[in-house]
Structure 1
Amino acid sequence: MNSKKRRQKKKLQKKSAGSDRPTQILNEAFRLYKSGNLKLALRKCELLLAAHQKHTDALSLSGSIHLDLGQTQAGVNCLQSVVKILPDSSQAHFNLGTALSANGEPAEAISSQHHALELKPEYPEALYNLGNVYRQTGELETAIRSYRSALDLAPDYPGAATNLASSLLRLGRAGEALDASNAALKHHPGDRDALAFKAIAASEIGDPDTAASILCMDRLIVQKDFEAPASFRDLAEFNKALVTHVLSHPTLTREPANVATRHGQQTQNLALEPRGPIAQLQEMIIEAYDEYMNSVCNQVDHLYLRQIPNLSKIDIWGTVLDRMGHQAAHMHRNAWISGVYYAQLPDVMHGANESQSGWIEFGRPPDEFPCMVEHEVRMFEPSEGRMFMFPSFEFHRTIPFESSQQRISIAFDLLA
């Protein structure tokens, strides 16, 4: 091979390697994104976009990462760029609509989803997202039509039947909500929303026995009182360490968006390093979960328990409630088993407490559902060093308390 041919071969090899480089960077960004390393994944995308400004896959991934980081306007900007480059892409309009909804722009989100549907009429994902936007803006009848259209195309579409049930419950149409919940459970037997909404709907149509068989509060909600871990002198020292860790945590925020905390503060995930005393609490949670599954599964024949997969992830967060602090009725739809540990309670919760202030209550539906009957509830008394564990579909709330002292608890979700 002469020198000219060798130079040509090297040039072709270099060109080929250069064309592979963007794909390698994008694949690495996707890998980091899926592993939860969002900031590093975003840096990879930015590196790629510095050389290829119109790389639509990198722009789309950047938009998703910004949304996951709560940077909704940045997410919108990325996805608007994709639409400009690919105006005939239904996926691009769908993604932009999702971002606009997250950014608090419902009218623009609706327009984007309609663009997606014009390009791809049989698009259940766009119909589902359209229903979500209408539901958020209170246009429930329109939301219901969107969910039904999505289900006509994809009867097993996750979330469509349960959001349909939720919308129907908000309109007081419990019978239809029960049908929608049953349809969801047919395809997804462990769906937390479907179980919770079915229990509410059953009570509303006069079938409390069905509701009770789902909630099974006397047997599925389990209490465990702990002693101090071996590395602490006593329980008071351990709880004090937990309180200090929560109160000094950099993510502690007053009433963050989209959570149930009222008149209080909440952290993000405490299971991330540095964990401090949370490491010992995490071991206690795992111990309690093993006991829970061994005892409850042997005593209770419940469809939900048979659906629980191997749970390998844990989220832990601290909640600090001030005077009149409480948590509105909510459940944990993304988890399988949830719980709470009490590290510090105000004096008004000790001794005689006839008003049950600061207690945790299960079974009461959220205020968004205009219930016509009295639903069965269960009250449980917190105590420092006490943990409650329960299926994540159980609606629960806390009772407000009157005290200048703080009520500090640490909640957790066990996830697949």
Structure 2
Amino acid sequence: MTRTAFRIAIERAKPLGARQELALLREAYARRPDAPLLRLKLASALIEQDAFDTVIALFDEDVPQNHGESAVLVQALFARGTLTDTHRAVGVLENLPVGPSHAQVLADQAKAYRRLGQRDVAHDRLVRALALAPANLDACMRMAAMHLEADDPDAAIAMLDALADAGVSHGYAFAARARALACAGRIEEARIATGFDAFHHAGTIDTPPGFTRAGFDAALARALLDHPEQRFGRYGTASEQTWRIDKPAVGNVPLVDLLLDTIVRAAERHVAAIADSDHPWVRARPDAGLLNCWCVITDGAGYESWHIHPSAWLSGVYYVQVPHGITNGTDAGGCIAFGLSDEEVGTQAAAAYGVDLVRPETGMLMLFPSHSYHRTFPHGTSERRICLAFDICAA
């Protein structure tokens, strides 16, 4: 059956930055501390700023009132991560009534019990979570990880086969299959399962009207370096010692809008070019896409550790500014690598799988399946490396 053309919309930027929104919520909550919806919104905004102690303090004198508040509190407790926090998270999660999100509650219980060393209890919770919601990302990830930690890749593959038969096709499932196949010594199958070789793209994009290529990139670099939402570090991301802008399109940044429009056209062309493939990842393409983006700015010591983008289908990066020492270098400094982490699959399997190293240059666009494991390396130069990364998720 012929599918309709893939169309991508761009996530609409909020009129306020995260810091402005947080300031307004603080003021509103100070006036109405008895308003539960305000407390939930404030706690969620604080989570975005990594203010975990403050979130936990919001609930020190009052228990969470609903699933939403419980989820935010548990997120903060997991992030702070003390033994006391983990025990408290278990208490919150175990006392939640069964509801529509119970599979996620069970997956989070498993996370807590694994931290406490209670693997049998964690396994039980994951079995129940997947029975309730086979497509739950966290349950899939944690169950596959438990099988691989037990040196049983065949059990992980069998679980993933069963999920695939049930129609599950998210990023964690694709990534876990590649890891399990590599751990089982089935290296070529692992590379095919990832699909990076067949489906990645690296090249240039159309220059936005009214600009030269160099002029546009230089102007965009200045706009991003002056962005008011720039921050150092971000919990829960792969970024290490980096500056980030979580929502670069917030406010009046027309150059970001121009770039995103151009990226959308390039991504739609790429998806059309691979549409005839029978690969499971291509078959799992959503009917329509929604693009969201963020900016990563690295000094010489900054880098990204191994990671995937499990909630997305197609991901990519546009290189706004790349130091000459990276583009003209001979080592891995500042490059992006695609492969598997030796910490997750072992040194032998990671080496057998191999690494695809891509040397970036200013003005280059990369596209790749979101479940492809990738990382970057410190570039060690005195200049900044600036890129705009993005995910294309189901709309």
**TM class, shorter-chain normalised?**
0.7 to 0.9
**Shift in Å, 1:44:** 11
Partner of 1:5: none
After superposition, residues 180-195 of structure 1 pair within 5 angstroms as 180-195=159-174
Partner of 2:209: 230
Give the direction of change, closer, same or farther, for the CA distance of 1:137–1:384 in structure 2 (3 Å limit). Answer: farther
Q: Does 1:297 align with 2:275?
A: yes
Q: Does 1:76 align with 2:56?
A: yes
**Aligned match of 1:386 in 351, 360, 364?**
364
Aligned partner of residue 146 in structure 1, secondary structure: helix
**Shift in Å, 1:61:** 6.0
Partner of 1:220: 199
Q: Does 1:364 align with 2:340?
A: yes
Partner of 2:224: 246
Give the direction of change, closer, same or farther, for the CA distance of 1:92–1:330 in structure 2 (3 Å limit). Answer: closer
Stretches of structure 2 that go unaligned for 5 or more consecutive residues are: 1-13
Aligned partner of residue 317 in structure 1, secondary structure: strand
* TM-score (normalised: structure 1): 0.76
Give the direction of change, closer, same or farther, for the CA distance of 1:57–1:400 in structure 2 (3 Å limit). Answer: closer
Q: Does 1:307 align with 2:287?
A: no
Determine the C-alpha separation between the residues in 2 that align with 1:314 and 1:107. Answer: 39
Does the CA contact (< 8 Å) of 1:65 and 1:75 recur in 2? no
Determine the C-alpha separation between the residues in 1 that align with 2:73 and 2:232. Answer: 30
Aligned partner of residue 200 in structure 1, secondary structure: helix
Total equivalences in the alignment: 373
Cα offsets for 1:226-260 (capped at 9, x unmatched): 3532221x211111111111211122222322222
Determine the C-alpha separation between the residues in 1 that align with 2:84 and 2:163. Answer: 29
Give the direction of change, closer, same or farther, for the CA distance of 1:121–1:307 in structure 2 (3 Å limit). Answer: closer
After TM superposition, the structure 1 stretch with the greater mean CA deviation from structure 2, 387-396 or 214-223, is: 214-223
**Aligned match of 2:322 in 345, 359, 362?**
345
Determine the C-alpha separation between the residues in 2 that align with 1:344 and 1:166. Answer: 37
Cα offsets for 1:205-241 (capped at 9, x unmatched): 0222321221222221011213532221x21111111
Cα offsets for 1:347-374 (capped at 9, x unmatched): 22334x3324322211223634435422
Partner of 1:400: 378
Partner of 1:354: 330
Determine the C-alpha separation between the residues in 2 that align with 1:100 and 1:108. Answer: 5
Cα offsets for 1:373-395 (capped at 9, x unmatched): 22233222212111011111111
Give the direction of change, closer, same or farther, for the CA distance of 1:107–1:131 in structure 2 (3 Å limit). Answer: farther
Stretches of structure 1 that go unaligned for 5 or more consecutive residues are: 1-31
After superposition, residues 17-416 of structure 1 pair within 5 angstroms as 46=29, 49=32, 53=34, 63-64=43-44, 66-67=46-47, 70-79=50-59, 83=63, 96-114=73-91, 116-117=93-94, 124-135=103-114, 143-151=122-130, 155=134, 157-232=136-211, 234-298=212-276, 300-351=277-328, 353-365=329-341, 367-373=343-349, 374-415=352-393, 416=395
Does the CA contact (< 8 Å) of 1:98 and 1:109 recur in 2? no
Give the direction of change, closer, same or farther, for the CA distance of 1:283–1:178 in structure 2 (3 Å limit). Answer: same
Determine the C-alpha separation between the residues in 1 that align with 2:281 and 2:218. Answer: 36
Determine the C-alpha separation between the residues in 1 that align with 2:165 and 2:24. Answer: 38
Give the direction of change, closer, same or farther, for the CA distance of 1:225–1:138 in structure 2 (3 Å limit). Answer: farther
Does the CA contact (< 8 Å) of 1:271 and 1:278 recur in 2? yes
Read off the aligned partner of 1:365 and give its amino acid letter.
S
Determine the C-alpha separation between the residues in 2 that align with 1:317 and 1:62. Answer: 22
Give the direction of change, closer, same or farther, for the CA distance of 1:135–1:183 in structure 2 (3 Å limit). Answer: farther
Structure 1 or 2: more helix by fraction: 1
Over aligned residues, Cα RMSD in angstroms? 3.5
Does the CA contact (< 8 Å) of 2:333 and 2:378 recur in 1? yes
Determine the C-alpha separation between the residues in 1 that align with 2:140 and 2:264. Answer: 33
Determine the C-alpha separation between the residues in 2 that align with 1:135 and 1:311. Answer: 37
Partner of 1:24: none
Which structure is richer in relative contact order (CA contacts within 8 A, separation 6 or more)?
Answer: 2
Cα offsets for 1:267-313 (capped at 9, x unmatched): 21113232231121111111111111111113x22222222224453
**Shift in Å, 1:78:** 4.8
Cα offsets for 1:114-172 (capped at 9, x unmatched): 46536758954433212122445676565334323433565554421222112333454
Read off the aligned partner of 1:314 and give its amino acid letter.
L
**Where in structure 1 do 4 or more consecutive aligned residues deviate above 6 Å?**
89-95
Does the CA contact (< 8 Å) of 1:45 and 1:61 recur in 2? no
Does the CA contact (< 8 Å) of 1:60 and 1:82 recur in 2? no
Aligned partner of residue 130 in structure 2, secondary structure: helix
Cα offsets for 1:39-58 (capped at 9, x unmatched): 699589849956xx3x6666
Determine the C-alpha separation between the residues in 2 that align with 1:404 and 1:217. Answer: 32
Cα offsets for 1:13-42 (capped at 9, x unmatched): xxxxxxxxxxxxxxxxxxx9xxx9976995
